[in-house]
Every structure is written in C-alpha cells, then in structure tokens.
Structure 1
Amino acid sequence: MRTLGLVLVAALAISGCFGVDRNNFKTCEQSGFCKRLRALKPEKSQYVLNLDTVIVHGNVLSAEVNTMDYEGDKKVVLWHYALRLSALVDGTFRIEIDEADPLYPRYRTQLALDGEPAADGLRLASNENGKLTLINTQGHKVVITADPLKFEFLNQKGEVAVVVNENSQLFVEPLRVRKERVDDEDGQALDVEDESAWSENFKTHHDRKPRGNEAVSVDVSFPDADHVYGIPQHTDRFFLKTTTDGEPYRLYNLDVFEYELDSRMAIYGAVPVMYAHGSSRSAGVFWHNSAETWVDVVNYAEGNVVSSLVNLVTGGQKRKVDARFMSESGIVDVFVLLGDRPADVFRQYTRLTGAAPLPPKFSLAYHQSRWNYVDEADVRSVDENFDAHDIPADVIWLDIEYTDRKKYFTWDPEKFPRPAEMVANLTAKGRKLVVIIDPHIKREAGYFVHEDAQDNSYYVKDKDGKDYDGWCWPGSSSYLDFFNPAASKYYAERYRFENFPGTSKDVHFWNDMNEPSVFSGPEITMPKDNRHYAPPVDGADGLSSFWEHRHVHNEYGLWHIRATKQGAMDRTNGKYRAFILTRATFAGTQRYAAVWTGDNMAEWGHLAATVPMCLSLGAAGISHCGADVGGFFKYPESELMTRWYQAGAFQPFFRAHSHIETKRREPWLYEPATTALLRDANRRRYALIDFWYTLFYEHSIDGLPVMRPLWQEFPEERDTYAIDDQYLLGDKLLVRPVTEPGVSSVKVYLPGKDARVLWYDVDTYKMIPAQGYLNQDVNIAKIPVYQRGGSVVPRKERVRRSSALMADDPYTLVVALDHNNTATGTLYIDDGETTDYTDSQYIYAKITYEPSAMTYSFDSRKSPHNSEFLSGFIFVNENAHFPTRSWLERIVIAGIKTPPKTAKLHQEEKQTALQMTLHKGNDVLVVRKPGASMAKPWKITFSY
C-alpha cells in the first residue's frame, strides 16, 4: 500500500505522475548532526582511557574514559564517560560508552535484542605500555590502547579482525544546559549561542530540540576485507560501495513514494548490522541504536580517490574497508562479531536479535493481493478462478478498503457484510485471509479505538504534550504509542475474536505504514520532537519523563508488530501460529513478522533489485522476505510478469500485489500462454513447499539465512563476493532468476570449482561440474535452478488447490550425487499451523544416500544444524514424533554411474523388493513406489 502527501500530492501520486521527490527527504547536509559529525575528522582522538579506573569482573571490563584538551601545555579533562566492555558467548564483544553523569538519561534501544545476551568469561592478560590485553574463554583477544582510545579485536588465530576508533571518529556529544542570553546595556546580545544546537528547520517543519545536540559516532575498520554488506534497507548492490563520492547510506524508516534504484536513500527499513568478508575471514558489527543513522563506507580496494591516495602511501592495493556510524542520539553501543566464517558471523547476529520462529506453512505458499478486492463477491470470484484455472493459492489479501471508512478492526457494512461466511468459504479449501491493520487511528467521534485511546492517553503526544494529530489515509489521525505498555496491551486485545467479529484463526494480519507514515509530517513521517511514553522514575520530571520520537523512530514499527503478534497469538491462547507482514523493519523484526520490499514498480530494474534487497535483509536476520510480484505500480506486460512469477516462486515470501489504479492482473487475465507459464511457476513453488518448510525450521534453530549469498557457502572463492543476481536456498539449490528482457541466455556462476562440486539442472538432471561462469540457454519457460551434488531435496508432485490439502500427499526425494556418489538431506514435518511442535509434535529426519543404502532416520544423537551456536550440533529430542499419513512415492537419483541391480525396502519388520528404472541418457535412476511411511524410519538397501 502507498502513502502520499497532501490531498493534491496523493491524487498526483495515485495517477503515477511522478516518481520519488528527493526534495521531501533530507540529505546529509540538511541533517544537522550528519553534517556536523561528518565534517569532524580529527587527526587524533580526544578520548583517553583512565587506566587507574579499570576493573575486570566476570565478563565485564568497566573504566572511566575522558575527553582531553590542552590549556597551554596543560592537559585538562573536558568530559567524563563510562566505558563497559563485555565478553559474550560465541566470540562476540560489546562496547558501551555513555556519559558518566548525564544531565538526563540517554536513550538505550529497548526491543532489538532477544533478551539479555549470554555472558562469556573475560580475563585481563596484560597491562603494559598503555595497553590492556583481554582474553575470553575461546581465545579471542581485545587489545585496548589507552591514549588515544582504540580497540583491536583479534580472532583465535591472532589476526586483527576488527578495529574500533582507529580513525579517531568516536564522538559522544554531551548533554548540557542551554545558556541564558546575556545582553549589554543597549540590549545587544553579548553571548549568543548557536541556535542550531537547539532547533532545526526542514522545509516548513520546525524541530525543537529540547535536549540540544546529543549525537554519537564511531568508526570501525575491517582489515583484509574485500567488501562489506548489510545495513538494509537500500536499493543498491548487496555489497556496499564507497560513499566518499556522495551521500552516506541512511538508516531512517521512511515511506518513500516510488523509490529509486541504485540509491543510498533511506526507505522503509533500518537494520544497522554490517558484515565484512574476505578470503581470510568474516567479521561484523551491530550498531545498537534506533535513532536516525548515517553510515559512511570506504573500501580501499575500489579504486576511488581515497583508496588511490592510501595505495600511494602504502605502496600498493590495500584490502581493507572502513565504516563510520553516526546517529542523532543514544549511546555508543556496538557489538563486535568475530566470526570468522560467514555462517559464524550470521549466527552471532541472530543469537543477539533472535531467529524467526517457525512460520505457519501456508505463509510459504502463494499469496494473492491487490489494493483492493472490492467486496465479498470479488473475493469469491478470485478464489473460484484459481480453481477454475488450476492454479494453487493459499491466501487472499484485503487492503484498506475492506474497513468501515478506514477504521481498523471494522468491516465495510455494505461491501463486507458477512465476513465470517467469506472466511469460511476460503478455509473450506485450505485457504486463508490476510487483512491490513495500520497504526494510524481515525480521529472520529464514536469510533471505539479512537475514543478509548483518547480517554486513556494511549496516543503519541506532540511537543506540547497533547495528542498528536497527523494526516494519513483516514484523514485526521493519531498514532498509538506502543511504548506505553497499557496502549500495547489494549491494541493487542483488539485482535481477539470477540473484539474483531468476522475473524478466525485463519485470518492473519498485515501491518503497513508503520515507519510511521504521516502525510503531513516532515519527510512524510512523525516530527522528531513528538513525545513517547517512558517508564516513571522517582523524582523524574521534565525531559526525563518522556522519550522524543528522534530517540525511538526506527523502533516504532517494531513495537507495533510486537503488539500485533501478541494479540494474534493470545486470541487462540497461543495454540495457533500467527502470520504478520510488516513494512517498517529494524533489528529483531524477524521475531515477529515477514517483510516485503515495499512499493516497487513493474520494471525490469525493480525485478532485478529483489535479489540484492532480500539477500541484504536475509543477512540481517530477516529471512522471510519478498517483493510485490509484478510490481506495485504500473502494469507488467506478459514477459515481465512471467519472469517475476518465476523469480518470486524461488524467493521466501511469494505474493502478487498491485496498486488500486493499475489494470487487474490476476494470472488468468493474461493470454492463455502466459497464464500457463504463471501456473507453472506457482506449481513449482508448491512442489517444493516441504523443502521451504524444512529450510525455515532449520533457520528457527540455527539462525542462518534461508536465501544466501554464494560466499556464505564458498567463503574462499573470491569470484562470488560481488555476485548478487543469484543466490542459494539453504546449501542445496542455486537460483539465477532471469531479470533481463528478451534474452536467450544468461550468465550463471556455478561455485565450488576448487572443491570438485557438482551441480544438476533441476529440469533435466544434467550434471555440470563447477566451473565458474557458464552461459545458460533460456526460453520463456526456463528458470535456471541447480541442485548441488551431495544433496537430497524433498518434493511433492501432486500439487493441489492449497498447501493444506497436500499435507498427506506422498513425497519424491531427489538425490543429486557428489563426486563420492553420496548425498544427504533433511525433512521437517508437523501439522503446519499449531505450536504443538514446541511440545515434540514433529518429525525432523535425516536422509542419507550411499551406494549401498539410502536411510531415512530420526537421529536421536545429533542434528546437522546448530542451535547452541558453539558446538556445531544439538541433541534432537528423541521423543519427537508426528503421525503423518504421507508416504514415499518415488526416489530420483541423479548422477549415478553404476546402477544397482536390486533394491529392497526395510521398514519395521517388513522387507519389500522395489522396482527401478534407469534413464541412461542422463544417468538417472528412479526407484518406483517404495510406499514407505514417512512417520517411521526406513532403509533401502542396494545390491550390485
């Protein structure tokens, strides 16, 4: 859905008359703190560690840090700061620097972390020559230089992986009291303070800064790194480019109309985690701050002006990347992730912010949406046409027009008079309904949510402490303050069945516009001097009694979806899993919701951008990512629509969605040949639905991305580092969507040439040894997808109307052999919708193939994924079980050179001889109808 500005702007935008208006959004030069801090480039840091104050206790070093200056020849202390360095499990460290005695409490981001990080041990190994050396229990070291303050983090091999404040850009602006104006006898000011410290203007908006300047900054260096990645959400490449030639990357959740491609501008999401990777190691940092943030990057290997100067000094190309984080407020709070393999550093981040819990299975299937399906008859027609055209679908979505005049938790009484019946008609086919609920509340007398929020002071306040009144879809609107526990509780309760009649457990929710989007606000969002709830503190008043929106902006959407998730779970007393989709994102979003990339356009460039955008979000913990299939704005012609369905079918969140003014584009409205191609793409998704479900289960355990960059699995293969037009699903499938018009071939990179990796075209089972780039012939029906040799992928070939109707259908196991003629895989099965899996109601099976036998086992000792993040393995619950009625219909073994003569199934006490068919042209053996139950272990033995 789209936000727009005033009524005229909205009308123009809905007509698609213009793209993004950059004038609505700040540049660094227009952002006071960014301009101020970016210009700060001292030769030597003012920050000095007071070695006499160092205390190491448990996993924490605490000490005093001072800023120093000179009065003549004498060194004087300007400000006192408190340093806290913590050693955390899994090779992670945390640096916190706050004012020792701030005038007011400085805001500390609240909701991003998934609980208190687990502590490791820390000991002081040496204190010599102005340097401290500390070691954790795993052998990682921290060397702290006292004057000027610098932190060097060494991995277990003794290599410097991360350096903090190497470039002297650590900065904490101390809070202070505004000076009183002093005039001379003639009334002329003698002491005039710079007004920009206490207020800013942008266009017609005035931002009063009652606390004054309070920005923070830190620089981070990554020695030996080829590239850095992360800090979504942006529309440029997956790897981050040097910013010295223009704007820094901006992290500030904004509703940007028709966002540009290849841009560092802020859009809907802001996740301040950055990863560095080179052939030596991976490392990362998580900047734990929810205020507006700008990030500069300098990659010394890129060949820009800065790197050229450095290379001239150092005598050659230097592999190193520097970054600098600058935020408007908060404290310095940075987590250092020492890796040192890509999977290690990704796990370290999700250990801090949480892995996504297992989603309901339907959410991994196909979703059909539009702004808007106009009434119940329209919904029924769309539902019936999926069946009439034999196209599977699991979900139909309703945008804002289903409500009673934009009042959430209501239904339009004329267009949707019988919502419960409408939902029941969908659920009879295993389908679901998703409805939109936004955070803005219509200010209308008699509307129960508004009346309750107004009477109980649940709204965000303006700078004067009154209920903030902004403009959004309903017109005059106020915004619930989810930082207020009472407001969040009230909001969560609105999702109960008795409070939202017409809903059931099969109705799920879409939280949009939660940046928050305010059409009448500065940069189409909420004024920074608005006020949010802060917990009462004895004796606190004035500026200590609330937080400003500037402190919490990037967290606002996170608090919104947290309350939604709570309400959606509470309505069934935690029995059924809830699905939530959000647009605003921050660190930790994955614990509550899936994410889509916002209001894109029906253009080839926007199709191509879906890959790096979702790779970046996945690396930042948010694996359940997708884009509006077909593009939100404009109309996709047949070729673009076909290629977008084919790409979407192999991305985690698969939803078609479009603007209210676009031509209808359900799959059957295209010419029959195109409809057939769209049907084929959907059916490919459903055939792999259990593969997707297994990937998401494993993500919920080990925190690794579902959609992965090639370098995650091939970290030493430098050619993969800048590839972001293809990706891996888990470690088993490689996908290179066709994102160019009119092509008859595409370049595909098959990694693993030094490891003798084999790849198999999933359409032909043709074996292709890893060889780097190849030209893959494509026609309009071809989706370049390859299965990795050594893997087993589960499929269900009997595609039905919805995934729920396929639950008991039989499996086909596709075995792709490696050069040792072996393969392994996994399969996860449960009921797909309840939380019973948390009480051992599931199957997690390991599948192994060797020339002598194929085994399907419930390993009670070890699982091939990592939940403890340290040991590399976890113990599987040996009591886990699930009474699935699914069975094994077929085994396809690709790459077999010496086929067996006989095969025999062993399950429980029964042995059965099996039939096999050999396809000699492509070395494929098919074991036909083994008939084994998937509820119990089995084994197939081969003889030669």
Structure 2
Amino acid sequence: MKSYRKLPTHVTHAPGPYGEEEEEEEEEGNEPGSPPAKKTLSLRWQWLGVVVIVGAGLLGGTFWAISVRRLPVEPPGKCISVPESQRFDCYPEWDTVVTPELCQMRGCCFLQSSSRGGPPWCFYPPDFPSYTLKTLNRTELGFLGVLTRTVKTYYPRDVLVLQLQVDLETDTRLHIKLTDPNNSRYEVPLEVPSATKKAENPLYSLDFSRDPFGILVKRRGSGVVLLNTTVAPLIFADQFLQISTLLPSAFLYGLGEHRRGFLHHLDWTTLSFWARDVPPTESYNLYGVHPFYLNMEEAGTTHGVFLLNSNAMEVVLQPAPALTWRTVGGILDFYIFLGPDPSSVVQQYQQVIGFPTMPPFWGLGFHLCRWGYGSSNQTWQTVKNMRSYLIPQDAQWNDIDYMEGSRDFTVDPGHFGTLPQLVMDLHKHGQYYVLILDPAISSSQATGTYAPYDEGLKKGIFINITHGQPLIGQVWPGLTAFPDFSNPETHQWWLENLNVFHARVPFDGLWIDMNEPSNFKDGSVDGCTSGELDNPPYTPAVLGGSLFAKTICASAKQSLSFHYDLHNLYGLMEAKATASALIAIRGKRPFIISRSTFPSQGRYSGHWLGDNRSEWKDMYWSIPGLLNFNLFGIPLVGADICGFSGSTTEELCTRWMQLGAFYPFARNHNTKDAKAQDPVVFSPSARTAMKEALMTRYALLPYLYTLFHHAHRRGDTVARPLFFEFPQDKNTYALDQQFLWGRNLLVTPVLEPGVDAVIGYFPIGVWYDYYTGSSLQSQGEKVKLAAPLNHINVHIREGAVLPTQKPDITTWMSSGNPLLLVAALSQEGMAWGDLFWDDGESLDTFERGNYSYVVFNVSQNVFTSSVLHCNLEAIYITVDGLTVYGVQKQPQVVTVNGKEIPFSYMENKVLSMSGLNLNLSRSFSIKWI
C-alpha cells in the first residue's frame, strides 16, 4: 500500500551491490545552529489557521504555552488527503484528550474521527520538519552519515545532529544505528557479535532519502520494501525517540510480553514495554520486554526487526500496515534479519542475542508446585502420592511458604524443618528439588540481624536512592532493599549466600520470581523524585500510569546507570548471576525459571507465563505465549498447568494436563486457598487421563531433548507455529490453537468445555495419528477429530522419524530404557530423523564432544541408523523396536543387518517389529521386501 508521504526526489542510492549507483554528488551541509537553551526556547508557527507563539519553560519536563491566537481558516487539503490508515499520531499522550489547539501548537493536522479507538485525531502533515541527511560516506562495513535538523520538536532537548551508522554485517543481517555523536548516551550492555567484514552478496538493497531523511530496505530480487522510515518524521530528543515504518504485510508476530493472539491485529493498537508484576491481562504491559518482530511478506518470505533498547517503550500498530517505535531513552539501534524463511529469521536473531542454554534432561520432565503446601511434610506427602499412583514426576517445587518470614536463604523451622530430608528423599528416587527466590532482601531489623542484608549493606550492592542510601520498598518480607545485579560485586554476594543455603538445603534448580522488580509500594516507602527520570516528558501507556507504579523509582542509582535505563534488564541480570552461581555450586547445567525476561534471557533461564487463572481462556492464551517465547529465543517455556489463581474443575484440569504435557516446560502450579490440583486429587478416570498424557511426554523425551539440542546449537524453535513449516500456506498464518514440536509433531488440544471433538487444520500432505498410525491425507483443510476426555490429538508429519523411549515415572528411570523408533513415511516412501544423546546434566557436552549423534533414514524400504558421533564412555541404550507408518504393501520378509526377523503388519498399513536389541552406538539397517 502506498504511503501518503511521497518519496522525496532527492534520494541517495547505496552504491555497488547494495543498490543502484549513486546518481548525485553528496552535498556538504553546514553545521546546525547553536543547541537549544537549557531553560527556555521559543517557537513560532503559522499553520492551520493558527498563529502560535510558544515560550517554553522546563517545568517537570513539560512545555507550557504563553499565547495561542486562532485564525478562522479550514484545514488545508494536504491534511484531508491523508488516508486514515496512514495517519501517524502527533499527539500520543494517552492521558490527554487532544484538542485542535493542542494539536495545532505542534504544527500537526487535526481531523476528528468518529471514535477514540481508531485513527489519531492529531497527525503529522506530509511536510512536518524532520532530519536531513547532510553527508554519507562509505566505511569498511557500510556507511557513516550525519543527520541534522533546524526546526525543534515539541519535546525537550532535541538532538539536532545525529550520526547514522549502517553496517552490512552479513548477507542476511543489516545493522542500523542512530546516535548522538556529541554526547554519550546509554546503550544496552548486551554482548552482541561484531562484524569483521562487509557482506558480499546481501539479500537486501538500501536507499537513503536525504530530505526528509529516511531509509528504505528492500529485498533483492522481489523488490519488496521491508523498511520505509520516510512515512513519518524521525524524532530524537533526550527522552523521546520515535521512528515509523511501513510494513510489507499485516502478518506481524512477536513484540512481547503481552497477552494477545499470536498474530497481531493492526487495528490502532499500542503495545507498552515496561516490565511489570501483574497477572497476565489483555492490553497490559507484562513481565518481560522483547522488542523484536517477525513479518511475513505476501510471497511467503519473512524478515525480522530487533530494536536493541531497554528503556520504557511502546509500539503502535496501524492498518496501513505500519508500525511506530517510541522510547524514552537510549539510542535507536536496529538489526534487520532477511530470513528468508521464518525459522531462519529466528536463528539470525539469536545469532545476535545468543543461543539458549541446553537444559538438564530432568528439566524436561513433569514439575509440581503450589503456593500453600503449608509444610515440608505436606509437600513430601504429595510426592509420595504421585509415586503411589505411578504418575511421572521429576521435580518438586516450593513457593515462599518454606521461608522464615518470607526472607530469602531461610527455612521456617516450625513448618519446614524436614525440608533437607525431603530433598534427600527426592534425590534417592532420582528426583529433583526447585525452590523460589525473590530478589527483594528484607531490610527490617525488628527480628534481629539478617546476614544477607547486613553483608549487602557493607558491600554496597543494593540499588540506591539519589543521596546514596539503599532504596527501601516493600515486598513479602516487609521492608526490603533490592540487589543491583548490574554490579559484579552483587554476583559474588549472591553466590556466597546461595552457597551457604545450598549446604543446608541441596536444591537442584531455582525459580526467580518478582524480578521486574516487583514492589508493593510505588517507587519506595518515601516515594520518588519530582525529576524527569521518574516523571519524563513523555511516559508510554504503561499500567499504573508511571514508571514507578508497583516497582522502584526510575531515578534509583545502579552500578551501570539509572534504573530508568536498566529496569527492563533486571530479570536478565538476576538470571545471569543465578546461572553463574549454580554452575559454581553444583558443577552441572543450571536449571532456572525466571518471570521477567529480556533478549538473551534464554542463555541463562527458561520462563513461565506468570500468574494465570484457572479458566478456559487462559489455557488458550498459553499457546500464543509458548510460540512467542520460542521466537524470542527462550524455548524452555510453559504456563501454570490447570491455572494458578482460582480453583480449577476436573474437566479443565484434565484438558490442561493433556496440553501441558506438550509444553516445553511442564509445571502444574496453583495458589493457596484454592483447591489442590495435582493429578492425585482427581477421580480415577481423570487421574488416568493425566497419567497417560504424561507418559506420552516421557516417551517422546528423546525427540524433545534433540529439539533442545538444535535450539542450543543453531537457534531452532522447539514449539513452533504451523506457518514456520508451511510459509506458503496462508491458512496457517493466524493459527494459534495448534502448534508443532519441531517440524514433525502436531498437537491439537481441546480448549473449550463440554465437547468430545475438536477442529484442527492440517496442511497439505499425509499426517499420521501418533498413537495408531492411521493416516490422514489432507489437501490443506480443517478436520473434525474425535477428542474424548481421555485423549489429546497428536499427529506425525509424513517423512519423519521420531526417537521415542519406553517411559517410566522419572527421566532417570526412563533414560536407561530401550528406544522405540517410529517412522512416518512420506508419499514417496521416505523419512528422516535424528537423536542427540548425552549424560543429560554435564556442562558443554557438545562443545567437549561428550555426546552421541545418530541420524535415521528411510528410503526404498530400507531403514538405516548412522552413527555420526559417538564419544560417551559407555553407550548402554538399545533400540528395541521399530514401527513404520504408511507401508503401502504388506512385506514378505523383514531383515535386520541381513538377518530375517519376525514382524507384524496391520490393516492401517503399519509395520512393526520388536525385540531387536540393537546397540545405539552401532549403525544398522532394517529392510522389508
């Protein structure tokens, strides 16, 4: 769709292979005038029938007008001619009803529409002042330019000179950075790779608009415009940065953490980014911040964009289709990924932010928790009940109940005195223990000394208020201080306290909660300052209306910067400190689940989707959440199965346990004062259905573990949307009630009450029922599937080989069981699969070569297992059976390594053989004729 802003005639084309040769000589521009006065300035506009004389004084970051004189004249045609879908908001202050006078003071168009939820009433005219590209020079990696503007905007302290840096880092990655060359500004302290040479054959070309400045990024070959920033003015003030772009299509994904459908609706939606402790609710900014989007193009190709900025932010989506970024600090630091397929975009994104850590094998088992067990003995009894019914469980968790006075690194001696014995018993049975830690440290001395606070005070590791004293808020323990995880000294303090506590309670993993950070007071017990960090000139539409609502003051001081800049990084920095501490203490892979997240979080932790509710809609919302966090490079993700708050029903919990068995991270967790919801408390039929779903998960753990290996090594998604595998099928673009494990396993859960069937979409091809092998030939259609209460539909994509294992009630017990391979033949009689296997807990097994990797192939009625790497001290796993789906003709003979063996063949074209006893470390072949 065309923009109302015509491409300026004076356009610089990037030279060489990055665009057409430059046709005009670069103009040398004069340096702009003197910088704006610190306290006052004046502007004059005569436009839209208004003469505006503005004398501005900096009062709490707000401009005030001295005089406005209105002239009776109609809005010019240039405003009326702007299509509604392409009106970019000139007055984004969400807490103000814009009037013609307010709008015209900014030099913008005012046209009132029928409702407040649609196009902005105040929007930029086509000729609104912006920056001019004065110079553009080639560099070793791309281009370096200077931007200037002569007309100030309506936010304080415009940066009148900008530096543009464009690095062509790889053939599929472009890096665009806009900074202030004259003043140092905050930049996110994320470890990102540095390019050493310019891309040789990029998939993109570049055009630069000179006046007004803009960048156009096009896909070479198709010419599709992926980025077009000429559609609205660029604004770069000290505490207000804004840039807009057209999108090539409305198929937009990502931009988390928010509770929305997986496919965004570009219906004048504003998404706010500011980590916040709030139960997942539509339209709110939630626990994490991920300014990354993926956009499908009309031809099925895909690109992605990442804004590396950790300040408070919002993204506006409008039906042009277009997108506007706004942030209150830092710089504009964009990475653009060319794909061209969806999986490649996510892989390229993770090449910048880092690939996720490899979880321990036990971390993929079933986890059980609740807030309100009441005692370690009650917790222990729950574990024993699970064992007595032979229901799989790998990890038992405790919420803050175990603490004395809700203080970290303590145990309530009256109710949890037997906690060390519980952990010892778990370890004896091959199970694991995970406990919660909140970052806020009790600062109250009413109960005597508290070593973590006393030591932290001496070492100066707490976040401070402006006059150097620890900021005091209020969380579960009462008055609290907040560790500054941007300070390396805090990491050491954290390690020391964890080490002492681990000697008492030898936990295996940690659950870091409340780390937005959450604060029951707004800012602190003493409030916050009246300055511009706590009250910036513009505040995005965050829940609570301020940057310190239910968190700490933005003006609080941390080691690297003010909390204003670091707030959204708090959970990431805590996760990094926690991972380092667990490695030092246990010498094994860390298992960490964090609530607040930021890009690169997957390197240190997984995530759960927060304090959801025991409602059917919350079960549905978990699927878009899974898919989004896999886009964000955090594949170890799940929701609280059966819901956290409120009491579940047996039907809801049964359906949710079935769905949760296919969360990459599977934990059942609920709150105190609600009915218990662990599997053993339900009727025999429900308990059996839950157990069967978990047994299916445990059978598939070799396949799931291999998916995590590929996520760790190259950035693959584990749970993925269907369009990742079928980007040419537009019917898959909006699907978020089904999902895939890898490329081969399709899960179709029931998400509503009182039904015994479910509608699922099946892309073109053959799909096999996982349990029976019966085939479904689809032309790309919706299919009604039987779904009684004891069943979740799972299908295997044609052409897949899945390594499964005889399940047991823990991963430790399952891991020694024989493998059962399942091959689902394509229509050409072919299939492929692989298996990554190691000891499940050691650090860097792939990097050190301590693993086995096996590839399975089927072609021309021959199944082969090829060992590509085998360097474990002892390979004790055997392959006991092979089942082949889609064998069109009954075989007469089946041989293993040339030796004839018995087999069975069923009417649904399933060939099976068992008792093979083949060593996984040796290649073998199975043939049927």
Q: TM-score, normalised by structure 2?
A: 0.81
For 1:651 and 1:70, locate their aligned partners in 2 and report how far apart those are by CA, in whole Å: 51
For 1:727 and 1:691, locate their aligned partners in 2 and report how far apart those are by CA, in whole Å: 16
Distance 1:885 1:293, change over 3 A: same
Q: Aligned AA for 1:890?
A: G
For residue 243 of structure 1, report the CA deviation from its aligned partner: 4.0
Q: Which residue of 1 aligns with 2:327?
A: 327
Q: How does 1:59-208 map to 2 (within 5 A)?
A: 59-69=141-151, 79-102=160-183, 105-111=184-190, 114-121=191-198, 136-174=200-238
Residue 57 in structure 1 maps to residue 44 in structure 2: no
- Structure 1 range deviating more: 341-350 or 412-421: 412-421
For 1:117 and 1:45, locate their aligned partners in 2 and report how far apart those are by CA, in whole Å: 36
Equivalent residue for 1:449, pick from 452, 456, 459: 452
Give the conservation status (yes or no) of the 8 Å contact 1:44–1:168: no
For residue 904 of structure 1, report the CA deviation from its aligned partner: 2.4
For 1:722 and 1:119, locate their aligned partners in 2 and report how far apart those are by CA, in whole Å: 39
Give the conservation status (yes or no) of the 8 Å contact 1:83–1:97: yes
Give the conservation status (yes or no) of the 8 Å contact 1:727–1:734: yes
Give the conservation status (yes or no) of the 8 Å contact 2:305–2:336: yes
Q: Aligned AA for 2:730?
A: R
Q: Aligned AA for 1:721?
A: Y
Equivalent residue for 1:239, pick from 252, 255, 263: 263
For residue 115 of structure 1, report the CA deviation from its aligned partner: 3.2
**Residues 497-550 of structure 1 deviation map (CA, whole Å, 9 limit, x = unaligned):** x4532243x521000000110011254433443323345xxxxxxxxxxx2222
Q: Which residue of 1 aligns with 2:836?
A: 828
Q: Aligned AA for 1:693?
A: Y
**Residues 868-900 of structure 1 deviation map (CA, whole Å, 9 limit, x = unaligned):** xxxxxxxxxx56446231111111111111233
Equivalent residue for 1:568, pick from 582, 598, 601: 582
Q: Which residue of 1 aligns with 2:900?
A: 913
For 1:120 and 1:155, locate their aligned partners in 2 and report how far apart those are by CA, in whole Å: 21
Give the conservation status (yes or no) of the 8 Å contact 2:870–2:921: no
Q: Which residue of 1 aligns with 2:732?
A: 720
Other structure's SS at 2:457 match: helix
Equivalent residue for 2:910, pick from 896, 916, 924: 924
Give the conservation status (yes or no) of the 8 Å contact 1:215–1:330: no
State the superposition RMSD in angstroms.
Answer: 2.3
For 2:754 and 2:357, locate their aligned partners in 1 and report how far apart those are by CA, in whole Å: 40
Q: Aligned AA for 2:286?
A: I
Q: How does 1:595-610 map to 2 (within 5 A)?
A: 595-610=607-622
Give the conservation status (yes or no) of the 8 Å contact 2:484–2:559: no
Q: Which runs of 5+ in 1 are unaligned?
A: 1-26, 72-76, 123-135, 175-213, 301-320, 536-546, 860-877
Q: Aligned AA for 1:168?
A: A
Other structure's SS at 1:641 match: helix
Distance 1:325 1:899, change over 3 A: same
Q: Which residue of 1 aligns with 2:64?
A: none
For residue 395 of structure 1, report the CA deviation from its aligned partner: 0.3
For residue 352 of structure 1, report the CA deviation from its aligned partner: 0.9
Residue 550 in structure 1 maps to residue 615 in structure 2: no
**Residues 471-491 of structure 1 deviation map (CA, whole Å, 9 limit, x = unaligned):** 100010110011112112221
Give the conservation status (yes or no) of the 8 Å contact 2:203–2:338: no
Distance 1:721 1:283, change over 3 A: same
Distance 1:371 1:68, change over 3 A: same
Q: Which residue of 2 aligns with 1:476?
A: 479
Residue identity over aligned pairs, in percent, reads 26
For 1:554 and 1:42, locate their aligned partners in 2 and report how far apart those are by CA, in whole Å: 34
For 1:916 and 1:89, locate their aligned partners in 2 and report how far apart those are by CA, in whole Å: 52
Residue 889 in structure 1 maps to residue 913 in structure 2: no
For 1:90 and 1:453, locate their aligned partners in 2 and report how far apart those are by CA, in whole Å: 48
For 1:782 and 1:357, locate their aligned partners in 2 and report how far apart those are by CA, in whole Å: 33
Q: How does 1:215-614 map to 2 (within 5 A)?
A: 215-223=240-248, 225-244=249-268, 247-257=269-279, 259-260=280-281, 263-280=282-299, 281-300=301-320, 321-445=321-445, 446-496=449-499, 498-504=500-506, 507-521=508-522, 523=544, 524-534=549-559, 547-572=561-586, 575-614=587-626
Distance 1:487 1:556, change over 3 A: same
For 1:729 and 1:79, locate their aligned partners in 2 and report how far apart those are by CA, in whole Å: 50
Residue 936 in structure 1 maps to residue 922 in structure 2: yes
Distance 1:32 1:394, change over 3 A: farther
Give the conservation status (yes or no) of the 8 Å contact 1:735–1:784: yes
Q: Which residue of 2 aligns with 1:633?
A: 645
Give the paired residue count: 785
For 1:936 and 1:747, locate their aligned partners in 2 and report how far apart those are by CA, in whole Å: 43
Distance 1:30 1:568, change over 3 A: farther
For residue 45 of structure 1, report the CA deviation from its aligned partner: 5.9
Distance 1:884 1:155, change over 3 A: same
Other structure's SS at 1:392 match: coil
For residue 237 of structure 1, report the CA deviation from its aligned partner: 0.7
Equivalent residue for 1:840, pick from 833, 844, 849: 849
Q: How does 1:507-906 map to 2 (within 5 A)?
A: 507-521=508-522, 523=544, 524-534=549-559, 547-572=561-586, 575-751=587-763, 753=764, 757-771=765-779, 772-797=781-806, 799-835=807-843, 836-859=845-868, 878=869, 880-881=871-872, 883-906=874-897
For 2:368 and 2:752, locate their aligned partners in 1 and report how far apart those are by CA, in whole Å: 24
For residue 347 of structure 1, report the CA deviation from its aligned partner: 1.1
For residue 708 of structure 1, report the CA deviation from its aligned partner: 0.7
**Residues 790-825 of structure 1 deviation map (CA, whole Å, 9 limit, x = unaligned):** 00111112x222111111100111111110011101
Give the conservation status (yes or no) of the 8 Å contact 1:28–1:248: no
Q: Which residue of 2 aligns with 1:13?
A: none
Q: Which runs of 5+ in 2 are unaligned?
A: 1-91, 109-119, 524-543
Give the conservation status (yes or no) of the 8 Å contact 2:609–2:625: yes
Give the conservation status (yes or no) of the 8 Å contact 2:337–2:349: yes
Other structure's SS at 1:29 match: coil
For 1:40 and 1:697, locate their aligned partners in 2 and report how far apart those are by CA, in whole Å: 49
Give the conservation status (yes or no) of the 8 Å contact 2:686–2:790: no
Other structure's SS at 2:743 match: coil
For residue 828 of structure 1, report the CA deviation from its aligned partner: 1.2
For residue 722 of structure 1, report the CA deviation from its aligned partner: 0.9
For 1:579 and 1:732, locate their aligned partners in 2 and report how far apart those are by CA, in whole Å: 27
Q: Aligned AA for 2:577?
A: A
For 2:894 and 2:554, locate their aligned partners in 1 and report how far apart those are by CA, in whole Å: 73
Distance 1:58 1:492, change over 3 A: farther
Q: Aligned AA for 1:548?
A: F
**Residues 161-189 of structure 1 deviation map (CA, whole Å, 9 limit, x = unaligned):** 42241322421114xxxxxxxxxxxxxxx
Q: TM-score, normalised by structure 1?
A: 0.80
For 1:549 and 1:439, locate their aligned partners in 2 and report how far apart those are by CA, in whole Å: 15
Give the conservation status (yes or no) of the 8 Å contact 2:494–2:578: yes
For 1:495 and 1:70, locate their aligned partners in 2 and report how far apart those are by CA, in whole Å: 52
Higher relative contact order (Cα pairs below 8 Å, separated by 6+ residues): 1
Other structure's SS at 1:808 match: coil
For residue 434 of structure 1, report the CA deviation from its aligned partner: 0.3
Give the conservation status (yes or no) of the 8 Å contact 1:227–1:299: no
**Residues 14-39 of structure 1 deviation map (CA, whole Å, 9 limit, x = unaligned):** xxxxxxxxxxxxx9614999x99986
Other structure's SS at 1:897 match: coil
Other structure's SS at 2:796 match: strand
**Residues 670-704 of structure 1 deviation map (CA, whole Å, 9 limit, x = unaligned):** 11111111111111111111111011011111202
Give the conservation status (yes or no) of the 8 Å contact 2:311–2:566: yes
Other structure's SS at 1:500 match: helix
Other structure's SS at 2:231 match: coil
Give the conservation status (yes or no) of the 8 Å contact 2:883–2:911: yes
For residue 90 of structure 1, report the CA deviation from its aligned partner: 4.7
Q: Aligned AA for 2:905?
A: L
